[in-house]
Amino acid sequence: MAQMNMIEAIRSAHDVVMDRDPSVVVLGEDVGYFGGVFRCTDGLQRKYGEHRVIDAPIAEGGIIGAAIGMGVNGLRPVAEIQFADYIYPGFDQVVSELARLRYRSCGEFFAPVTIRTPCGGGIRGGQTHSQSPEAIFAHISGIKTVMPSNPYDAKGMLISAIESDDPIVFFEPKRIYNGPFDGDPEKPAVSWASHPKGEVPEGHYTVPIGKAAVVQPGTELTIVTYGTLVHVAQAAAEATGVDAEIIDVRTMFPLDKPTLAESVKKTGRCLVAHEATRFMGFGAELAARIQKDCFYHLEAPIGRVAGWDTPYPHAFEWQYFPGKKRMIDGIRKMMEAE
Amino acid sequence: MATKKSRLHIPRPTARPGDKPDFSYLELSPAGSVDRPPVSSRTRDIENLATDLVRVLDDDHEAKGPWNPKLEPADLQVALRWMLLNRVFDDRMWQIQRQGRISFYMQSAGEEAVSIAQGMALRAGDMCFPSYRNQGLFMLRGVKLVDMMCQCLSNTNDMCKGRQLPIMYHSKQANIFSISGNLGTQYPHAVGWAMASAIRGEDHVAATWVGDGSTAEADFHHALTFAAVYQAPVILNVVNNQWAISTFQGFAGGERRPFAARGLGLGIPGIRVDGNDLLAVYAVTLWAADRARRGGGPTLIEHVTYRGGAHSTSDDPTKYRPKDEWADFPLGDPVERLKQHLISGGHWSEDKHAALKEELTAEVTAAWKEAQKYGTMTEGPFLDPSTMFDDVFAETPDHLERQRKYMLEIEGGR
């Protein structure tokens, strides 16, 4: 075991897989010589060469399109999109090509591409460096969408993603790259060193795609969340004294419905939380699903904590971000609701 | 609102329905007049290739100049056979659609030389990323006519299992990628495939095709940038057939500079070729493939041709262009031109041609008869609709299995 932050864990996942499989290549803006703006690919080009860790032109559609062609020709590309906010020029290549290729060719062609992209706010990135577009991708049939919330899961899930023959969009909540964040911007930053999930094996292991995790057990309320808000939910639950069971969804699609249903049937109350805008957010699917599976066990309507339905404003980051105050309020309302 | 004099330029074609066809805008070079530079030439030294027009066959059907690939008459007879098969197949499938027996069709009338000449010039290990008007490539690379027909029928032998519109073929075995209905998306795929070929140390090249209209798509420009940056071994083809449904090539920016010149700013050599001259297309393709195999990177080839038919069976070109425009197209018909070339050299005759056409028609008829045994739109056997849940992922997830089960319960099989 080693101490790793999420960046080191992601880098280690690349290293482990590239070492085992010469067909794995990395491409993206600034990923090569420089090692990525968040340093997730630092050192990989020196170790594996310029033919396997490739600096790309600033053309997200080109990066994803070329990755598909490489995947069709026997490579296993990992494409980094520098910010999730930049992914839209490549959206058609994801929706119409990457997600559909296996289906339309009845399995004759497929492209085992992993798209990694940092997402989420809390880093003073303004509206073009803070978005959480996971629901847009989870809506597309033919790709899998995931978002880890800690170094251990990040490495294990990234290895699973790269080794999978299915295309996967891998969202990395960048606010927690360097340490867990409880949603209170006034408090000093903490590192992953003091967190149990900062203990990461140095070698190969996998965390399965499609499995949620019970982060902490509880009896009074289930909080279903993912990404940065897993940590916000933990802090908020502690502050309220509510015995909350917190579930980290980890994979938006395919969704681990049994784990969600089992928890909500036990607690009878459910709060769904994500950073992304509320309307048509992934929480809507979660709420619909849980309502269907747990209707007769629910003691109150399912609640939602989410980003406001506005773009992400630069100057009002902490009024926008669904942090500790909103999570605490959400928990209280859930416990009062009938 | 509209002012009498505007600075806004609205491109207009030279002729609309009722007008006399006018191709005076097409700049033509005499056959044999354009030099054939070494494949190692620097792009800046051969920029003329992007604006001149490489032609081998002259108006008297003689092969001329340095680009003459000097193919044997037997090879040219084979090429003629493939082009004619492509034409006969398209004609029959068009009729079949008009009879309501398939839902949709797209023909490549007038553009057959592009697929056939390039298919012949490429090697079997080279990967093709086609557009929807490259059916000749599939035929040439051994995909059976009956299998293509079954795809158009969405029947029990459909390679796409009823998931794709007619003509959206694919063939892994023939090294031809799956056709997309979204235009130009295959361009960056071809570049990525070619990059992988280079990364893997192989000498295969990729080739891809797009129409003049689709050069406006971002994917076209992404692909050119990537191809130039990494000197990917790829042949980028623009089939300029003058029309993108109802918009003439001016709406893709063809009025001022030829499409072949699109890559010059990136250092990609462009070759503007007579797309209806099988010999010229063959020769420039060999040049580009040779250059790519030697590490010289991409070449952009613009094929100047004419869309002889409607865009698709859903289109009526008499609403937007002169009815008889093709007859006035200065580069003629590729099938007729190769035929006349062979005849003038004493290697073909009208009788042989008529007999060949009859033979190919019989071949197509037999294939259609066989294809229908696998099911038609109205008569079985039908595809099992429960297969619609397969191949979304490598392994079918649980919820799709549940949807499959429920679909069968409520919608029933067929």
Q: Do B160 and A104 touch (CB under 8 A)?
A: yes
CA of A75: which chain B residue's CA is closest?
B196
Q: Report, as an integer, the average pLDDT of B115-136.
A: 98
Q: What is the pLDDT of residues A294-320, one digit of tens each?
A: 999 999 999 999 999 999 999 999 999
Q: What is the pLDDT of residues A227-259, one digit of tens each?
A: 999 999 999 999 999 999 999 999 999 999 999
In this structure, the dihedral spanned by the alpha carbons of residues B215, A82, B129 and A111, taken in order and rounded to 10 degrees, is -160
> Whole-number mean pLDDT of chain A?
97
**Three-state secondary structure string covering B239-301:** EECCEECCEEHHHHCCCCCCHHHHHHHHCCCEEEEECCCHHHHHHHHHHHHHHHHCCCCCEEE
Which are the contacts of A11, defined by CB distance < 8 A and separation ≥ 6? Answer: A39, A40, A41, A42, A43, A44
Q: Report, as an integer, the average pLDDT of B137-141.
A: 98
Let me know: does A91 contact A54? Beta carbons within 8 Å.
no
Q: What distance in Å separates the CA atoms of residue A30 and residue B239, rounded to the nearest whole number?
A: 35
Q: What is the pLDDT of residues A156-172, one digit of tens each?
A: 999 999 999 999 999 99
Q: Do B189 and A51 touch (CB under 8 A)?
A: no
Which are the contacts of B268, defined by CB distance < 8 A and separation ≥ 6? Answer: B43, B224, B227, B228, B236, B297, B298, B299, B300
CB contacts, 8 Å: B171 with chain A:
108
Q: What distance in Å separates the CA atoms of residue A33 and residue A48, rounded to the nearest whole number?
A: 11
A129 belongs to the catalytic site = yes
Measured in angstroms, the CA of A102 and the nearest CA of chain B are apart by 6
Token pair in block for residue B72: 């044997």
Asked if the model's pLDDT at residue B167 lies above 60, the reply is: yes
**pLDDT band, residue A338 (cuts 50/70/90):** confident
For CA atoms B146, B147, B150, B155, give the dihedral sign: positive
Q: What is the pLDDT of residues A264-280, one digit of tens each?
A: 999 999 999 999 999 99
B399 touches chain A (CB under 8 A): yes
Q: What distance in Å separates the CA atoms of residue A225 and residue A243, rounded to the nearest whole number?
A: 16
Asked if the model's pLDDT at residue B413 lies above 80, the reply is: no
| Structural Rg of chain B based on CA atoms | 22
Token pair in block for residue B317: 């070109």
**pLDDT band, residue A125 (cuts 50/70/90):** very high
B187 touches chain A (CB under 8 A): yes
Phi-psi region of B290 (alpha: psi -120 to 50; beta: other; left: phi over 0): alpha
Let me know: does A15 contact A47? Beta carbons within 8 Å.
yes
In this prediction, residue B412 carries a pLDDT of 83
In this prediction, residue A337 carries a pLDDT of 87
Q: What is the pLDDT of residues B361-400, one digit of tens each?
A: 999 999 999 999 999 989 989 999 999 999 999 999 999 9
Q: What distance in Å separates the CA atoms of residue A276 and residue A255, rounded to the nearest whole number?
A: 18
What is the C-alpha end-to-end distance of chain A, expressed in Å?
46
Burial class (CB in 10 A: 0-12, 13-18, 19+), B212: buried
In this prediction, residue B5 carries a pLDDT of 80
Q: What are phi and psi of B299, to 5 degrees?
A: -135, 140
Asked if the model's pLDDT at residue B149 lies above 70, the reply is: yes
Q: What distance in Å separates the CA atoms of residue B75 and residue B83, rounded to the nearest whole number?
A: 12
Q: What is the pLDDT of residues B19-48, one digit of tens each?
A: 999 999 999 999 999 999 999 999 999 999
Let me know: does A273 contact A306? Beta carbons within 8 Å.
yes
DSSP single-letter state for residue A189: P
Location of structure tokens 């130039």: B228
Q: What distance in Å separates the CA atoms of residue B258 and residue A177, rounded to the nearest whole number?
A: 49
Task: Please identify among residues 279-298 of chain A the ones whose CB lies closer than 8 Å to any CB of chain B.
Answer: none
Q: Report, as an integer, the average pLDDT of B325-332.
A: 97
CA of B390: which chain A residue's CA is closest?
A103
Q: What is the pLDDT of residues B69-100, one digit of tens each?
A: 999 999 999 999 999 999 999 999 999 999 99
CA of A27: which chain B residue's CA is closest?
B192
A97 touches chain B (CB under 8 A): yes
In this prediction, residue A126 carries a pLDDT of 93
* Interface predicted TM-score (ipTM) of this complex, two decimals: 0.97
* Sheet strands (E) in A64-104: 76-80
In this prediction, residue B414 carries a pLDDT of 65
Give the side-chain half-sphere CA count within 13 A for B36. 20
In whole angstroms, what separates CA A23 from the centre of its chain? 25
Let me know: does A38 contact A173? Beta carbons within 8 Å.
no
Burial class (CB in 10 A: 0-12, 13-18, 19+), A329: middle
Strands A2-3 and A251-253: unpaired
Q: What distance in Å separates the CA atoms of residue B72 and residue B60, rounded to the nearest whole number?
A: 19
Q: What distance in Å separates the CA atoms of residue B167 and residue B135, rounded to the nearest whole number?
A: 8
Q: How many residues does chain A have?
A: 338
Asked if the model's pLDDT at residue B1 lies above 80, the reply is: no
**Among residues A27, A53, A255, A15, which one has the least CA distance to residue A158?**
A15
Location of structure tokens 């406006």: B216
Identify the active-site residue in B170, B311, B337, B353. Answer: B311
Distances (CA, A) of B213 to B28, B243, B311: 21, 7, 12
Let me know: does A184 contact A235? Beta carbons within 8 Å.
yes
Task: Please identify among residues 160-179 of chain B the ones whose CB lies closer than 8 Å to any CB of chain A.
Answer: 160-161, 163-164, 168, 170-172, 177-178
In this structure, the dihedral spanned by the alpha carbons of residues B117, B121, B125 and B130, taken in order and rounded to 10 degrees, is -30
For CA atoms B69, B72, B73, B78, give the dihedral sign: negative
Q: Report, as an integer, the average pLDDT of B193-200.
A: 98
Let me know: does B195 contact A69? Beta carbons within 8 Å.
yes
Q: Do A107 and B391 touch (CB under 8 A)?
A: yes
Q: What is the pLDDT of residues B231-275, one digit of tens each?
A: 999 999 999 999 999 999 999 999 999 999 999 999 999 999 999
- Closest partner CB to B189 (pick from A72, A110, A255): A72
In this prediction, residue B2 carries a pLDDT of 56
Burial class (CB in 10 A: 0-12, 13-18, 19+), A146: buried
Measured in angstroms, the CA of A160 and the nearest CA of chain B are apart by 14
- Closest partner CB to B188 (pick from A65, A77, A108): A65
Q: Do A75 and B178 touch (CB under 8 A)?
A: no
Percent of residues in chain A assigned helix, strand, coil, to nearest 5:
40, 20, 40
Q: What is the pLDDT of residues A195-230, one digit of tens each?
A: 999 999 999 999 999 999 999 999 999 999 999 999
Which are the contacts of B356, defined by CB distance < 8 A and separation ≥ 6? Answer: B80, B81, B84
Q: Report, as an integer, the average pLDDT of B118-145.
A: 98
> Whole-number mean pLDDT of chain B?
97
The SS3 of residue B329 is coil
B311 belongs to the catalytic site = yes
B406 touches chain A (CB under 8 A): no
Describe the strand order of the beta sheet including B206-211 as a list of residue ranges: B127-129, B206-211, B234-240, B299-304, B270-274
